[in-house]
Chain A
């Protein structure tokens, strides 16, 4: 069974840093692109970052460029999101999502349960 399990969400002060992790199981992790998608409380879905299967290509939405970095460790079947210079508007549930179609997996076929990041003083 395909599973992705996020961890690392927390309450952090503005300007602080956090690293999210996503442990994957039930599929050949190194064969799939992976993504982070977030959802602010009571709001819609926003794509944040994508990374291809070998980690050689990564993309971020403009609002997080220079602050967030997506990475992966295929030996550990784990996806990461390093978040620096956090802002109140980054407050959201962050979903780890497997991607299919294309090198960076534009269709999101398996979603984790999400981890909550709250940026507040």
Chain B
């Protein structure tokens, strides 16, 4: 199974500041023939189901604000919130869909400093 490891487990960021979450896969999730990374990011607010933010490592889902961006390739990926708003307080998960079983990172909790 591909193990997804996120860092940090939690972070506190001031309103308007940048938040950066890292995700590392135990093997490459770059499919060479398509040059696509099989990596998605989700946001889960308290008491709600997760919401898809980004897939193909950097493609924003429709309706997701452009302060959310994804980057990286191979085994190392990053989710960046460029200017944190109060509504961004949540747990963020990365997930690989390169193979089954689909696996998630353990989650990163983002709070306001």
Real binding pair: yes
Q: Which residues of A contact B (CB under 8 A)?
A: 35, 44-47, 50, 59, 61-62, 95, 100-102, 104, 106-109, 111-114
- CB-contact partner of B38 in A59, A62, A106, under 8 A: A106
CB distance from B52 to the nearest CB of A (A): 5
Counting residue pairs across A and B whose Cβ atoms lie within 8 Å, the total is: 55
- Among B45-96, those with CB < 8 Å from A are 49-52, 55, 61, 93, 95
Q: A47 vs B105: C-alpha distance in the bound complex, in angstroms?
A: 11
Task: State the majority secondary structure of interface residues on A.
Answer: strand
Q: How large is the interface on B (under 10, 10 to 19, 20 to 34, 35 or more residues)?
A: 20 to 34
Which of B100, B102, B107 gathers the greatest number of chain A CB atoms within 10 Å?
B102
Residue contact A104 to B100, C-beta cutoff 8 Å:
yes
Q: Which residues of B contact A111 (CB under 8 A)?
A: 49-51
- Identify the closest chain B residue to A112 (Cβ): B49
Q: A101 vs B93: C-alpha distance in the bound complex, in angstroms?
A: 18
Q: A101 vs B36: C-alpha distance in the bound complex, in angstroms?
A: 12
Q: Which residues of B contact A (CB under 8 A)?
A: 38, 40, 42, 44, 49-52, 55, 61, 93, 95, 97, 100-107
**25 A-B residue pairs with CB within 8 Å:** A35-B102, A44-B104, A44-B105, A44-B107, A45-B42, A45-B95, A45-B107, A46-B104, A47-B100, A47-B101, A47-B103, A50-B102, A59-B101, A95-B50, A101-B55, A101-B97, A104-B100, A106-B38, A107-B97, A108-B42, A108-B95, A109-B61, A111-B50, A112-B49, A113-B49
Q: Which residues of A contact B49 (CB under 8 A)?
A: 95, 111-114
